[in-house]
Amino acid sequence: MKSNYLLIYFLLISTFGFSQILDLRGTVKESGTNVPIAGANIKVKNGQLFTTSNFDGTFVLKGVHKGETILVSFLGFKTYEYVVSSSQDNLSISLVEDKNALEQVVVVGYSSKKKKDVTGAVSVVASKTIEELRPIQASQALQGTVSGVTVNAASGAPGSGFSINIRGISSNSNNQPYVLIDGYEGDLNLLNPSDVESITVLKDAQAAVYGSVGANGVIIVTTKQGKKNSRPKVSFESSFGMQETSKKMRLLNATEYALLLNESYANGGQALPYPDVSNLGKGTDWQDEVFRSAMLYNNNLSISGGTDKIIYSFSGSNVKQDGIIGLDKSGFDRSNARVSVAVDLSDKFNLSTNLMYTDFNRQSLNENGIGSVLFNAINAPSTLSVYDNLGNYTLIPDTPGYGNEVINPLAQIENTYNSYNQKKINGNIVLQIKPFKDFKITTRYGFNSANSVGKSFSKELFYGTGKVFNVTRNSVSQNAIRYSDFTYDLFGEYEKTFLENHKVKLTVGGTLIEKNEEGLFATGYDVPYNSWDYADIQLANGAPPDGVIPNGSYKNAPYKKPSLFTTIDYNFKEKYLLSFIFRRDQSSHFAKNNSVAYFKSFLGGWIVSEEDFFNKESLVNFLKIRGSYGTLGNDVAGLSDYRSVLSGEATYVFDNTLVNGVAIGRIPNEKIKWETGEKLDVGFDLKAFDNKLELIADYFNDIRSDLLIQNVPVSGISGGYAPGSGNPTLNAGKVRNRGAEITLNYKSNVNKFKYELGVNVTKIQNEVLEVNNATGYQESGAFGIGQLPPTRMQVGQPIGVFYGLQADGIFQNQAEIDAHPSQSGLGSTVTSPGDIRYKDIDGNGKIDFNDRTFIGKPIADYTLGFNLNLGYKNIDFIAYSYASIGNDLIRNYERTENKLNKLDYVLDRWTGEGTSNTVPRVTTGATNNNLFSSYFVEDASFLRIQNIQLGYSLSQNVLEKLNLAKLRFYLSANNIYTFTKYRGFDPTANTGNPISGGIDYGFYPQPRIYSFGLNVNF
């Protein structure tokens, strides 16, 4: 009986021991570097308890039973197992890098690879970087963070979007990379950055798997999903920001303006317009009047989690940004909602879907051109006030010398009325089937469906006699556009290891893409009350002017592209890597004989560090040498380049009466074909010093052939010069980009202080190899009023090279003028001391427009990116910056009329012999000084401090009391300062045009933003 009592006693003790509920607190670090690991998974083995480590590696797991096993895991590291024996307040867990430490999975096309097996030039921007930068648009996350990639804002106006170039400008038409979001074509500018898990950039022949759209590079976006066996995670992010202009130009104040104008009148032999300047003072600073402090709000809520069979992620966000010019008149707001669900229907079937909804609204002002708001703010005389004596906006005088396009910029802002709204739903449905081991079939349907409406109102206005912005009759214009596309993929993947050392992966499949677009547009006249409130076609009751058709519509022929592809990956002994990619594309943009093209590439790699002869104890931990070569395409032909369209104008005679009709438009060319990119890349990846140092280097040579050049002259009898017609488009150009990239990252830890440093450098040499039209070059862009185009695509030069007169100082006296070739061939027959001296390039003893030459280029010699990440206890600090060296810009935001304002560099003008050899005299007389020349070309090299952020996270003890997983506050400053000699608002100014993009028409500057925000995880 006594033994029975003892048995019961021991059973109770054992039960009590194993039912003890314990709490674990600790830190997860990298073994060797002691760098904290954020986002590590801490889970009870075969249980439901689950948590993740914070940014500083700390975690808390409550309610663990004694004797249970805790699994700690993170991608690229071996899983750590810990048997719970007692409560722990300071558990230190060091994760050891896996034998395959670089086995981060990277999406490289229709499938994925371990990072160590990637043989192409592939870069990845992880969600960590995106969260640190907190960009308004996802494209900004690539700015300065990826070597070989440049990101330029189309404008600093909110919602204006960004253009992306990968390894330079190769085409005279479209240079934008192909963007895929979860496998289907998408738009980075409309995506919520907080939804992005990673952005992968394919730069070389690896992109050949996308064939006809891969030549400009490919950007693959993977959005966030839930995790299996994880409790619901609720995250809320919110920030509030204040914006201001990042720069003001140095303009003349009222007194300086008046004195300069007096001097120009005196030099022209005219009476002084301002005999007394003593009471003028500084006058009106039109930039201060135009620029405003503007608000920025950004909120994001997400919920994610999962079970053994289902993972889910839901999110919603809203960003509202007013413009620093005009506030809501140049503002935008974007709302996003996303649903992502994946279900394991069985061991062999997985069904997933990812749906996104976007509501995008934007208003805009006249910008980046002659007559824009900023153009007028720069050129409006500082002697004029904003309002007249009656409280109305002051009119810029309409007398000669003031320009017929320069008006009061404040009045221009107030009288601008427009709106744009786009509602878009996009997403995909994916079914994956694993019929047997080593084989997987994926069928995927992705789609975009968007409806947009736009409206603009031209109010009846009078800005002065002869002003181009006068409106004598009001009108409202409206449009509605419907766009849709779908991408259907079906492919199979077979992966098998043979004879232990031979690993083969075969992917075979097909893709079908179709795009459709149609639209309506109409204009109504005589809007009631001359008011935006009544600006609607239904209310406009006036008849259109004679000969004007006030409405119309269009429906594009469907664009279709069926494709077949295959990839073969071979891995021998985890050392020697080979890949082959083949794709066949067919496009409806080309005639039958040229509609099909074949693209292929070869890639290889050698993991040197896996060789027996490699010293495993050396400072170098990993070394891979790789190379690639392949052909890719760029499908940029227009819908009607190869076929006849009745878009021309013609007059016919019927019954002895002239009747207006239509005729064949641009002459078609059935022989046009794809642009073809030929890409070569050689590089290596290296890790050293216990994987603290990472070095990636590449040399590349990209040649783009068969560029489509429009309006190539042919025989006049073909009708190419008839009204509404045009000469045909030909494959007649070739461009080469070659250069090198280096990326260097270093991370380490000293006690509780961690730091990460990164730098990337890209060197690109761009050269036009062929332009096979009648002239041997293609011109583009505009400078001033009525002058010759200032930019070219010409053999032997970078694309977009500046072409104009070469300034050679200032004539100091009449003797220098007499000794120099005559410049009368430029227009003005009189040259005086103080005028610009131009070089006689052709050496024929006279200066005319045949002496134009190459005087600058918009393409940088080097682009660089820098980043710094520091952490100490609960405090974190990050800084990002980027730079561009060797690029120029054309200064085209100054109107040359003598009564308009000027930048203050004219104070250093020539006023007599020896006073200046750079800035010409001022005068009301005719000169050649305003012709396009190197005088208007400036070095636009810069270094920009893009982002600085200081954050503080509450300690684990405080979070427990608040029942929160994370609470972080941060202060952030964006676009803090730009070091540059460029006089304009922004040295990154670029219109996006590959030839004329380097002309600055008065670029809307990107704002400086000060923000306060918080991140909460429940």
Q: Compute the distance between CA of residue 36 and CA of residue 54 in angstroms, rounded to an integer.
A: 9
C-alpha torsion angle, residues 534, 535, 536, 542 (rounded to 10): 90
pLDDT recorded at residue 111? 87
Please report whether residue 773 resides in a domain.
no
How does DSSP classify residue 287? Answer: H
pLDDT at 9 exceeding the cut of 70:
no
Q: Does residue 91 register a pLDDT over 90? A: no
Indicate if 873 and 985 belong to the same structural domain. yes
- Find all residues with CB under 8 Å of 448, minimum gap 6, and list them: 184, 185, 186, 187, 424, 425, 426, 483, 484, 485, 486
1003/714: higher pLDDT:
1003
221 and 107 in contact (C-beta within 8 Å)?
Answer: no
Amino acid 225 reads Q
Is the separation of the CB atoms in 242 and 1009 below 8 Å?
yes
Assess whether pLDDT exceeds 50 at residue 134: yes
Mean pLDDT of 986-1008: 92
CB atoms within 10 A of CB 52: 20
881 and 928 in a single domain? The answer is yes
SS3 state at 594? helix
Structural domain includes residue 296 = no
- pLDDT, residue 15, reads 44
Q: Are 451 and 481 in contact (CB under 8 A)?
A: yes
- Which has more pLDDT, 179 or 59? 179
* CB of 374 closer than 8 Å to CB of 290: yes
Query: Does residue 209 share a domain with residue 134?
Result: yes
Average pLDDT of the segment spanning 511-540:
95
Of 95, 123, 147, the residue that ends a domain is 95
- The partner residues of 681 in beta bridges, in order of sequence, read 628, 700
The answer to whether residue 592 is domain-embedded is no
Q: Which of 95, 116, 134 is the last residue of a domain?
A: 95
Q: Do residues 62 and 193 share a domain?
A: no
25 and 161 assigned to the same domain: no
The larger pLDDT score, comparing residue 293 to residue 79, is at 293
Contact assessment for residue 78 and residue 40, using Cβ atoms and an 8 Å cutoff: no
Domain C-terminal end among 95, 113, 131: 95
DSSP 413-432: HHT-EEEEEEEEEEEEEEEE
| Mean pLDDT of the region 181-193 | 91
pLDDT above 90 as % of the chain: 69
**Higher pLDDT among residues 129 and 639, named by residue:** 129
* Spatial separation of the C-alpha atoms in residues 953 and 975, rounded to whole Å: 24
The answer to the question of residue 805 being in a domain is yes
H-helix segments, 91-226: 127-133
Checking if the pLDDT of 662 tops 90, the result is no
What is the pLDDT, as a whole number, of residue 716? Answer: 62
pLDDT at 396: 95
Domain of 964 in residue numbering reads as 249-290+792-1017
How far is 142 from 153, CA to CA, in rounded Å?
Answer: 12
What residues are paired with 740 via a beta bridge? Answer: 699, 763
The tens digit of pLDDT for each residue in 285-332 reads: 999 999 999 999 999 999 999 888 999 999 999 999 999 999 999 999
Q: Is the pLDDT of residue 162 over 60?
A: yes
Identify any residues that bridge with 83 across adjacent strands, giving them in sequence order.
Answer: 69
**Residue 90 pLDDT greater than 70, yes or no:** yes
pLDDT at 724: 66
Beta carbons of 642 and 672 less than 8 angstroms apart: yes
CATH code of the domain covering residue 216: 2.170.130.10
Whether 49 and 197 map to the same domain: the answer is no
**412 within domain boundaries:** no
656 vs 695: CA distance, rounded Å: 80
Write b or e for each residue in 779-797: b if 16 or more Cβ atoms lie within 10 A of its Cβ, otherwise e. ebbbbbeeeebbbbbbeeb
Q: What is the pLDDT of residue 14?
A: 46
Q: How many Å apart are CA 680 and CA 63, to the nearest integer? A: 57
Element (H, E) at 256: helix 254-267
**Nearest-angstrom CA–CA distance, 41 and 53:** 7
In this predicted structure, what is the pLDDT of residue 307? Answer: 87
Closest residue by Cα to residue 737 from 228, 168, 221, 249: 168
Residues 925 and 272: beta-carbon distance below 8 Å: no
Q: pLDDT tens digits, residue range 729-764?
A: 888 899 999 999 999 999 998 888 999 999 999 999
Q: In terms of C-beta distances under 8 Å and separation of at least 24 residues, what long-range contacts does 273-280 make, across chains too?
A: 274/383, 280/254, 280/255, 280/383
Cα dihedral 226, 228, 232, 235 sign? negative
pLDDT mean over 407-427 = 96
Check whether residue 961 and residue 849 sit in a common domain: yes
Together in a domain, 8 and 138: no
In a domain, 584, yes or no: no
Q: Which of 457-471, 610-624, 716-730, 736-750 has the lowest mean pLDDT?
A: 716-730
* 144 class by beta-carbon count within 10 Å (0-12 exposed, 13-18 middle, 19+ buried): buried
Other residues' Cβ atoms within 10 Å of the Cβ of residue 18: 11
Is the pLDDT at 191 greater than 80, yes or no? yes
Whether the predicted pLDDT of 680 surpasses 50 = yes
Question: Using 50, 70 and 90 to split pLDDT, how confident is the model at 385?
Answer: very high
Categorize the per-residue pLDDT at 64 as very low, low, confident or very high, splitting at 50, 70 and 90: confident
Q: Is 15 helix (H, G, I), strand (E, B) or coil?
A: helix
pLDDT at 16 over 70: no
| Bridge partners (DSSP) listed for residue 431 | 351, 443
Distances (CA, A) of 502 to 119, 508, 566, 570, 572: 17, 20, 19, 7, 5
Q: What is the per-residue pLDDT for 648?
A: 67
Task: Name the token pair of 867.
Answer: 């980043």
Same domain, 187 and 274: no
The fraction of the chain above a pLDDT of 70, given in percent, is 95
CA distance 873 to 886: 41
Same domain, 142 and 274: no
- pLDDT grade for 656, boundaries at 50, 70 and 90: confident
Q: Which residue has the higher pLDDT, 724 or 433?
A: 433
Mean pLDDT confidence for 845-854? 95
Q: What is the CATH number of the domain that holds 81?
A: 2.60.40.1120
- Could you give the CA distance from residue 836 to residue 920 in angstroms, rounded to a whole number? 6
Q: Is residue 552 situated within a structural domain?
A: no
Q: What is the pLDDT of residue 100?
A: 52
* In the predicted structure, residue 533 carries a pLDDT above the cut 70: yes
Mean pLDDT of 867-896: 94
**C-alpha distances in angstroms, 580 versus 205, 215, 224, 226?**
10, 17, 30, 33
Q: pLDDT-based confidence at 18, cuts 50/70/90?
A: very low
**The pLDDT value given to residue 4:** 53
The predicted model gives 630-645 an average pLDDT of: 81
> Across residues 883-887, what is the average pLDDT?
96
How far, in Å, CA of 648 to CA of 661, rounded?
A: 9
Specify whether the CB–CB gap between 726 and 667 falls below 8 A: yes
Please provide the distance, in angstroms rounded to a whole number, between the alpha carbons at the two ends of the chain. Answer: 54
pLDDT at res. 547: 77
The confidence score (pLDDT) of residue 13 equals 44
Residue 157 has pLDDT above 70, yes or no: yes
Residue with tokens 């140095």: 250
Answer yes or no: are the C-beta atoms of 479 and 521 closer than 8 Å. yes
- State the Cα–Cα distance between residues 230 and 226, nearest whole angstrom: 8
- Kind of pairing between the strands at 439-458 and 791-794: unpaired
As given in the structure block, the two tokens for residue 377 are 């703010």
pLDDT value at residue 358:
96
Whether 796 and 891 map to the same domain: the answer is: yes
Asked whether residue 814 is domain-assigned, the answer is yes
- Residue 672 · residue 590 · CB < 8 Å: yes
62 and 130 in a single domain? The answer is no
Number of folded domains that form the chain: 3
839 three-state secondary structure: coil
